[in-house]
Amino acid sequence: MSARFGRVGVVGGGRMGAGIAEVCARAGLDTVLCETDGAAARRARARVTRSLERAVERGRTDRAAAEDALARLVLTDDLDGLADRQLVVEAVVEDLETKTRVFGALDKIVEDPAAVLASNASSIPVMRLGMATRRADRVLGLHFFNPVPVMPLVEVVTSLHTSAEATALAEEFATTALGKTAIRSRDRAGFVVNALLIPYLLAAVRMAESGFASATDVDEGMELGCAHPMGPLRLADLIGLDTVAAIAQSLYDEFKEPLYAPPPLLRRMVEAGLLGRKSGRGFHRYDRD
């Protein structure tokens, strides 16, 4: 356990936020998860509970450890409940205005000036979030991957203002406290993983959009022909097509490279609410969680 970050807060209880809160609680950390209202907080607890149940069923943890983790998790619908946190990870929707508003509020609420404020942003520059606070040297990115309890990687993203101390503490938290592998990235849209991944996913969308191959054939081609564990369109569905589109738009806005531009089909599917696994339908159909 990281003694420096014994008290952790998470803002946002969707798939990513709930997953981050779960791994923190399972690591023995005092964890507070903040959602917008009581109903959303209850849904977030239900996500964590289901995930822990699956971990028990699959032998990744035992019943006692799962119950202990759930007991360490506190749900709140008030950001003031994060005032005493030593680390807060923001995991709200991939939208600059929303994230900036959260960081501005956290800057006023979190009492410890040495606390680290981190974002799970997939593509939004950390600098913009840091400049919404009076402590840009304590702001960085901690980008987890879905599903958080299973995926071993965390990207540690530093802005021009992030201090070496905050960076070292965040990396130690990810590796020592959570048992993840950390890689460092400079503060540019997409960081390391999504800058490589998103053009691949968009190429698959364009292939399906053009009628060159069906979604199933595109996925099976990469799974069976290239030994990928999941085809690109199934992976896009898992990530969430709204998130894929938002990351692509951030990449395009920064670099103006055509390969980063969200294809029309992707934009239309997002407008239609066909977001992938979380909505029950994307390029494939799913049972709703």
The contacts of residue 46 (CB under 8 Å, 6+ apart) are none
Say how far apart CA 136 and CA 131 lie, in whole Å.
6
Query: Which of 197, 195, 102, 116 lies closest to 158, judged by CA?
Result: 116
Q: Give bridge partners of residue 185 from the DSSP assignment.
A: 157
Distance of alpha carbon 158 from alpha carbon 105, whole angstroms: 21
Closest to 185 (Cα-Cα) out of 174, 195, 175 = 195
- Strand 139-144: give its sheet, edge to edge: 73-76, 30-34, 7-11, 87-90, 116-119, 139-144, 153-158, 181-186
> Which residues are catalytically annotated?
122, 143, 155, 194
**CA-CA distance, 53 to 31, in Å (whole number)?**
19
Q: What are φ and ψ of residue 196, in 5° steps?
A: -90, -40
Give the pair of three-digit tokens for residue 10: 């998470």
